[in-house]
Structure 1
Amino acid sequence: MNNAYLSYNNIVSALGNNSNDVIDKITNEQSGLELIDDKKILSEPFCASLIDNLALNTIFEDFSDKKNEYTRLEKIMIVSLGQVIQKANISLTERTGLIISTTKGNIDVLEKNSIFPKNRSYLHVLGQAIKKHFGFINDAIIVSNACVSGILSVAIAKRYIDANVYDDVLIVSGDMVTRFVLSGFQSFQALSQTPCKPYSIYRSGINIGEAAASVLVTGKINNLTTESVEILGDGSCNDANHISGPSRKGEGLYRSIKIAIKEAKISPAEIDYISAHGTATLFNDEMEAIAFNRLGLSKTPLNSLKGYFGHTLGASGLIETIVGMHALKNNMLYTSLGFDKLGVSQNINIIKKGANQKLDIFLKTASGFGGCNTAVIFKKVQYA
């Protein structure tokens, strides 16, 4: 079995166009969330994090002079993945895989004012656009499994490397704030007009964000970065409870983490930090607290990063994994922004204020509509 590592990485979001800028903002507890009042998108004001169009188009010019040929999501993905490919200086051969993770893809092309044909909404067409732009030999593998898509892609890349199918896998994850997405969450009465408060007794719902994230997953020890981590284990389980409501006992998440811990050959006590899902909805946060307690993780430092980005859907798991990589490198626990007073039935150790602490292993979890749950465990790479 081949070891798999996360290496070169990038985040494009309201907080910046590269991982280092984003980490600096998180360290200083700066949020990308703001109140938006745009009747073309939603009839009432909503809180979200949006990527600046002018800044996006400016940086996109470094990667293409054909900005009118690409959708907004494709441009965000190309900017993110392009920076990773450049930094890694990697050749795209038949041994290089491409994974694209997204929840809704180019859903905005279905709107009346779109200049693009309707077939651009198909996920495989999105995959073809990214493949063609960069010149990948292999077709893109599309991962679209609700809000676990970003972290599930990491687990899938690991398995391809374990099986010796690829030497390297490049992942790009992305989703956008659109009328379709906002109206869907509004129908659940799940949107908050104020910055979200994961795990708080005062939480009132989620904020939606848009972003793209990219990472190189490799089996090559000689192509790592100072923030690289090894993937120790992963697990995915569907609790089959409800189309939008998770198991009240956290069964799917509990089993996913348990599977990941078993593969990683560690004990729960060896996990130094949890990067949780933490959507700030009533049922998700409660379910997570129950699952973590069932595994003996109630005292493990934990945060949700939704207070910085909002919920970036299919990109969230990968973005939060990249932040976790930098947390291990910097030996830094980042504040769970928005948290004030515990509002779940089980005790969990929310990071109320950023602090330095020696970190070696972290757990990333995600849960999504349809009952999907994924957990992946990462370990800091020790350099001689």
Structure 2
Amino acid sequence: MSGASEKAIPDVYVVADNIISPLGKTSADNFSALKAGETAVKQHSNAAIANQPIFASLFDKDEDFYQDPNKKYTRFERLLIASVDGALQDGGITIGNEETVLILSSTKGNIGLLETEDKTPELNDRISLSTSAKLIAAHFGFKNQPVIISNACISGVLAIITGMRLLRTGQYENAVIVGADVISKFIVSGFQSFQALSKEVCKPFDQSRDGLNLGEGAGTVILSTRKEYDQNIKVLGGSVSNDANHISGPSRTGEELAFAINNALKDAGKQAADIGFISAHGTATVFNDEMEANAITIAGLQNVPLNSLKGNYGHTLGAAGLIESIISIQSLKQGVVLPTYGYQANGVTNAVNVCSSNTEVNADNFIKTASGFGGCNAAVIFGR
């Protein structure tokens, strides 16, 4: 009796998306730029964010994203608004009802205000991610309280998994998931303290990799369980784990990320052989790429075509998982895996199949991985 009364878990479809980055203001523009081999990472000399020149992917200083004559929103919030608006134009969903939830992903939000504003109790509230989330929700007329995901560098992937899980419960019909970060001196100095920044365009998985580049950007994905979208790409499954190895250093074995990958496969009802390509985290730091290659090998995916987009976008923090998932959805639709910018020769112990040029694939599914400070790991699977 109990089996007969159980409600079937609904499929979760990708309805619309948007990317705003220094490479373009739409997902299509970004994909075209990447396919043409472009990178937004270059050397910047800006004392407001770093005392010395750094290689990063940054917007122009005067780029506004959204017209805000009353100066109600910060630069970070204007970027969020612009990306959500871009996705909603193609989404065809109603957001002012109880069936739609807003999910915000960011690692730092308005933290840069600490460098420019007077230290007051009001500032403490203004830099809170909950303040930004409520402002964005009110701007668009979301009825439900927004959900905030801020878990280091897996935030974007975790936000997608959270959206999938919420929709599977039936509590919501639609989820608007947006992630963004803007770079400040606070952020740059943090990565510099770890000696994690490269002095050139980064080289994921390459033998001469020496660190990452930071990047600015926003990504929005709209998910829905409505059957009218049943021909769209689906979010098939996802999982998270934590290796509890070190506050900043990843696991040396990769077993914990492999655990998340295998659980994501199980959740999606897939096997390793079903995965057509991998969108890796691929930060180009010595330890992250080594760990990720270990995890991919443990999961039996070492021969699957793989790319990292960090050489094109830099590490966009809370937006990374969203931006890279959106690009990979386009790759799935067009049957091409984009190259890993900067990659020339294998630099990890367990070699993985890194694409160094546009690679045609006949794929039905792909997996997106992510790892971050504190030992967090995540994997999400998309498919037809």
TM-score interval, smaller chain: over 0.9
Displacement after TM superposition at 1:113 (Å):
4.8
Q: Residue 3 of structure 1 corresponds to which residue in structure 2? A: 11
Displacement after TM superposition at 1:67 (Å):
5.6
* Range 134-143 or range 87-96, more displaced: 87-96
Q: How does 1:207-356 map to 2 (within 5 A)?
A: 207-223=213-229, 228-356=232-360
**Distance change >3 Å, CA 82–CA 114, structure 1 → 2:** farther
Structure 2, unaligned stretches of length 5 or more? 1-8
Displacement after TM superposition at 1:119 (Å):
2.1
Structure 1, unaligned stretches of length 5 or more? none
Tell me the amino acid that sits aligned with residue 192 of structure 2: Q
Q: Residue 5 of structure 2 corresponds to which residue in structure 1? A: none
Match of 2:374 among 364, 370, 378: 370
**In structure 2, the residue corresponding to 1:146 is in which secondary structure?**
coil
CA contact (8 A) 2:239 2:260 kept: yes
Q: Does 1:104 align with 2:112?
A: no
Tell me the amino acid that sits aligned with residue 54 of structure 2: F
Displacement after TM superposition at 1:114 (Å):
7.2
Q: Does 1:26 align with 2:34?
A: yes
CA contact (8 A) 2:17 2:219 kept: yes
C-alpha distance after superposition, 1:2-61 (max 9, x if no partner): 11112200000010111000000000010011101112221111000112344x42x513
**Distance change >3 Å, CA 90–CA 114, structure 1 → 2:** farther
Tell me the amino acid that sits aligned with residue 27 of structure 2: S
Separation in structure 1 between the aligned mates of residue 349 and residue 270 of structure 2, nearest angstrom:
27
Match of 2:206 among 200, 207, 218: 200
**Distance change >3 Å, CA 36–CA 53, structure 1 → 2:** closer
Q: Residue 69 of structure 1 corresponds to which residue in structure 2? A: 72
Displacement after TM superposition at 1:268 (Å):
0.4
Match of 1:82 among 85, 88, 92: 85
CA contact (8 A) 2:179 2:319 kept: yes
Q: TM-score normalized by structure 2?
A: 0.94
Q: Residue 149 of structure 1 corresponds to which residue in structure 2? A: 155
Separation in structure 2 between the aligned mates of residue 114 and residue 90 of structure 1, nearest angstrom:
41
Q: TM-score normalized by structure 1?
A: 0.94
Displacement after TM superposition at 1:112 (Å):
3.1
Separation in structure 2 between the aligned mates of residue 2 and residue 14 of structure 1, nearest angstrom:
36
Separation in structure 1 between the aligned mates of residue 11 and residue 128 of structure 2, nearest angstrom:
34
CA contact (8 A) 2:13 2:229 kept: no
Q: Residue 189 of structure 2 corresponds to which residue in structure 1? A: 183
Displacement after TM superposition at 1:343 (Å):
0.6
CA contact (8 A) 1:239 1:371 kept: yes
Separation in structure 1 between the aligned mates of residue 234 and residue 142 of structure 2, nearest angstrom:
25
**Distance change >3 Å, CA 285–CA 60, structure 1 → 2:** same
Separation in structure 1 between the aligned mates of residue 328 and residue 278 of structure 2, nearest angstrom:
9
CA contact (8 A) 2:276 2:361 kept: no
Match of 2:21 among 1, 9, 13: 13
Displacement after TM superposition at 1:269 (Å):
1.1
* Range 176-185 or range 215-224, more displaced: 215-224
Tell me the amino acid that sits aligned with residue 39 of structure 1: A
Q: Residue 4 of structure 2 corresponds to which residue in structure 1? A: none
CA contact (8 A) 1:328 1:360 kept: yes
Q: How many residues align?
A: 373
**In structure 1, the residue corresponding to 2:154 is in which secondary structure?**
helix
CA contact (8 A) 2:311 2:340 kept: yes
C-alpha distance after superposition, 1:250-303 (max 9, x if no partner): 122010001011111221011000000000001000001111111111110000
Tell me the amino acid that sits aligned with residue 87 of structure 1: D
Q: How does 1:39-54 map to 2 (within 5 A)?
A: 39-54=47-62
**Distance change >3 Å, CA 4–CA 235, structure 1 → 2:** same
Displacement after TM superposition at 1:146 (Å):
0.3
Displacement after TM superposition at 1:89 (Å):
2.8
Give runs of ≥4 in structure 1 deviating > 6 Å: none
